[in-house]
Structure 1
């Protein structure tokens, strides 16, 4: 695999850098922008990532209007906050109905417009401005976007019903329908934007990944989803490849990375690809941005520090037993190690003579990779795709009885949204908890606070307005109060000691605050600082983790644990 060099990559006019949280999208986008600008090109970089650290990378304050980046001639940057944009959008949509519809209806509308679907659309609003503005098009040689729109958002915008008056509420199922309300006037702009995205001569999707199995699997999904709606001009950038193993720890990491890259999903192995080596420094400031893609790297000088004894996951288990918790969720973004932590919790609870029901909704069923032969632990796999299909089929069957074909297509696409998937899985979770005879139910992947509030508002709305907004099963109605009861439930936030995973974990926790869900404990997973290594690059990386661990310690009021880095092999062979 070649080293990534934007100057020899034959790049298109529009570049979208995408990937799951923490893989280095912003790092790759900014390094590309600076290198092209330093080569004499006129470049603009735009970020709509809620977790974007574009301002930190450039060490300058940015707004939603393009402005010159100090120290880089020819480079302009803009940083949009899609969370703020989504709020403004939601307020515009709901405002005409205040004082007209009952308060329960307003609550339902607001919550439907509070999920990730609305953020996707708000982000696309910003993309569309730059994709369709002829002045911007002619001013710059390259326009770089940090984070691409999802396939779901693009499919939504292509549907005829997205531009009809059929919008306000979903009468047949609890999802996030309504996020396109009021967009009819922008139809021509959106159509042009979608056409530009699908034009391989103009646009390239830069898929950023880590050389790790979980990251590669997520990247495969993104590649497939976007290819389905026409974004087929894709390239792969593998970020963070360790080049020179010098001790046992680095040898293990190097071996795992190479094995995972050899086993890369076929669809990714066929893409044009390049790699960026693991660097010892955080990529902030122009000096480090410029150094990132250079072959010659600065000399690393790291003094071995004293080994730090961090609190372990045993603290959490002791607290769960003392508080007699019955429902435990491991929550976090993809790739942070939720399944591994869930298995560890189950193992340790069993060692304390607790019977445990361990369940997951991971489509890859990573639980099947673990050796779990403890009779005190019952393992089940909630088939996420099957429960989602069952829910979709149920809603569509009702829709076809009263709606036009276009409107049914609209609902079918809406039912592919993250919101709908959360709700379908949540119903399956409810059934697991309702039927379990175990002392403790450990669930790998938790519903978000938005999902809980959406279900609540849907149920309340149904009571006041004479039409159904989706059936809420008894198991769900019974479970909601239990999940909000700190005497029974604990949500454990699993994160990594890195910028983006920490930022995303903080947003998820804020979401749970809205839903009044107990979430006391945090696990900082895969910490290099907790590993004894003499490798200079790994030592430097480990040193950079401390500020994130300190932040988790502060946010959690000291209720946290740190788990050291483990290879895939070590994780899946946990003996239970």
Structure 2
């Protein structure tokens, strides 16, 4: 499962569709599904796309998920399920329990997972919403799973949510491709997104840089001068990004004509992937979030996060867990058993991420 996301307007839907088209031509049975409320997947392919998978080309199927419509159709079934677990509830009480935070988005994500599991697909390409919405969406299985358990709504619902999270954080099954344009504001958001996804345990396999202005070559005149200046600015931004990242950067130049239809999308995919397989780099390897090593007087726990000098990091010990907050995104991380009887004495950030020092009998931090 490949998830494409990025700041609104960077072209993630087009690049997701181009990737799916290239994979289908390569012989894979591919399903591309949009969880973006904008529903522009049909516009990109130039054919109608509905909530049910439909064939848009050989081996290539597409659909979009209507979260609000799905919620409207699901309310009664959800209420019946809740009342089955808690038969003493009135209809009003059961209705109130379905108004969980983010339930529309959760239903959209579970529908994507259902469509992916029910079909004969080898690859599922997901056109996600803008990054802020996607991060909220990816956090929901963890957040709502605990919420359901605390409310005693029932183990069944919580198990479904837990299974969804297992898919999202499994690097053998799922990875994210972040789409960006070569602008400092967009790159800054991309850096924050990388840290937030790492904190969630979701793997990013590459960055896709879209809409590089063409090189002016030997052209002359004001337009050529503008192209050279703009391209130089973009290259400077990308050089800084590349120097601070170990992820591959794929590049796509801005096109004069908007790519619409499978043929145009395949041309875009040729520029994006060249002779390589679009699945290259989407394999199971992923750096573990936590690693422990011995240190004088105790241990060091490394929380592997792509932090920058501008990252805002907050850390707190909560029983046998660490509360880690990076740029407003918070996660409770269970401590390895080895460290639970030790105290946090120091924490620093660096190129490897967040390094937390533990010592026996130290002062709580």
State the distance in 2 between where 1:250 and 1:109 align: 56
**Matched ranges for 1:124-139 at <5 A:** 124-130=109-115, 133=117, 135-136=118-119, 139=120
2:213–2:253 contact (8 Å) kept in structure 1: yes
Q: TM-score, normalised by structure 1?
A: 0.41
State the distance in 1 between where 2:209 and 2:141 align: 31
Structure 2 partner of 1:46: 33
1:152–1:416 contact (8 Å) kept in structure 2: no
2:180–2:187 contact (8 Å) kept in structure 1: yes
Deviation at 1:56, TM superposition (A): 0.8
String of CA shifts for 1:385-431, please: whole Å, max 9, x gaps: 89xx9xxx9xxxxxx9xxxx9xxx9xx9xx969xxxxxxxxxxxxxx
The answer as to 2:240 corresponding to 1:259 is: no
Give RMSD over aligned pairs. Answer: 4.0
Are residues 194 and 92 of structure 1, via their aligned partners in 2, closer, same or farther at CA, if it must alter by over 3 Å?
same
Are residues 275 and 119 of structure 1, via their aligned partners in 2, closer, same or farther at CA, if it must alter by over 3 Å?
farther
Are residues 295 and 202 of structure 1, via their aligned partners in 2, closer, same or farther at CA, if it must alter by over 3 Å?
closer
Structure 1 partner of 2:55: 68
The structure whose Rg is larger is 1
1:33–1:43 contact (8 Å) kept in structure 2: yes
1:207–1:236 contact (8 Å) kept in structure 2: yes
Q: Which runs of 5+ in 1 are unaligned?
A: 1-13, 168-181, 297-363, 365-384, 394-399, 418-576
Deviation at 1:53, TM superposition (A): 0.5
Deviation at 1:83, TM superposition (A): 3.3
Runs of 4+ in 1 over 6 A off after TM superposition: 90-99
String of CA shifts for 1:424-477, please: whole Å, max 9, x gaps: xxxxxxxxxxxxxxxxxxxxxxxxxxxxxxxxxxxxxxxxxxxxxxxxxxxxxx
Q: Which runs of 5+ in 2 are unaligned?
A: 84-88, 273-307, 331-365
String of CA shifts for 1:158-217, please: whole Å, max 9, x gaps: 3563332528xxxxxxxxxxxxxx685333333233222222222221111111111111
Structure 1 partner of 2:181: 210
1:156–1:162 contact (8 Å) kept in structure 2: no
The answer as to 2:17 corresponding to 1:30 is: yes
1:237–1:275 contact (8 Å) kept in structure 2: yes
Structure 1 partner of 2:125: 144
Structure 2 partner of 1:189: 160
Q: What is the aligned residue count?
A: 269
The answer as to 2:151 corresponding to 1:166 is: yes
Structure 2 partner of 1:81: 66
The answer as to 2:38 corresponding to 1:20 is: no
Q: Among 215, 218, 241, which residue is 2:212 paired with?
A: 241
Deviation at 1:252, TM superposition (A): 2.7
State the distance in 2 between where 1:78 and 1:183 align: 31
Structure 1 partner of 2:340: none
Structure 1 partner of 2:286: none
Deviation at 1:150, TM superposition (A): 3.6
Name the structure where helix makes up a greater proportion of residues.
1
Q: TM-score, normalised by structure 2?
A: 0.62
Structure 2 partner of 1:494: none
State the distance in 1 between where 2:180 and 2:78 align: 36
1:26–1:54 contact (8 Å) kept in structure 2: yes
2:252–2:271 contact (8 Å) kept in structure 1: no
Name the structure where strand makes up a greater proportion of residues.
2
